[in-house]
Amino acid sequence: MKITFTLNDETLTMDVKEDIRLLDFLRDELGLTGTKEGCGEGECGACTVIIDGKAVNSCLVLLPEIDGS
């Protein structure tokens, strides 16, 4: 699946797997290891990122959900 999103003021268009979490994509595919996995259930907030001005737990977001963000 192809998605387009803006990351740190850079617009990216990439082919991605539909079932990968945003957290795993940031860390494993883009090498952005500042985002940490804590509980993996959205409770601790260690993986918090900003999407369209809102703080979200990246462990709960599937990658296709950020298309256009």
CATH code for the domain of 6: 3.10.20.30
Q: Name the helix (H) or strand (E) containing 3.
A: strand 2-7
Range of the domain at 60: 2-66
Query: How much is the pLDDT for 46?
Result: 95
Strands (E), 16-69: 48-51, 54-57
Number of domains comprising the chain: 1
Contact (Cβ atoms closer than 8 angstroms) between residue 22 and residue 61: yes
* Model confidence band, residue 39 (pLDDT cutoffs 50, 70, 90): very high
Give the pLDDT confidence of 45-62 residue by residue, as tens digits: 999 999 999 999 999 999
6-11 long-range contacts, CB within 8 A, separation 24+ = 6/69
Six token digits for residue 43: 């409770």
- pTM metric for this prediction: 0.92
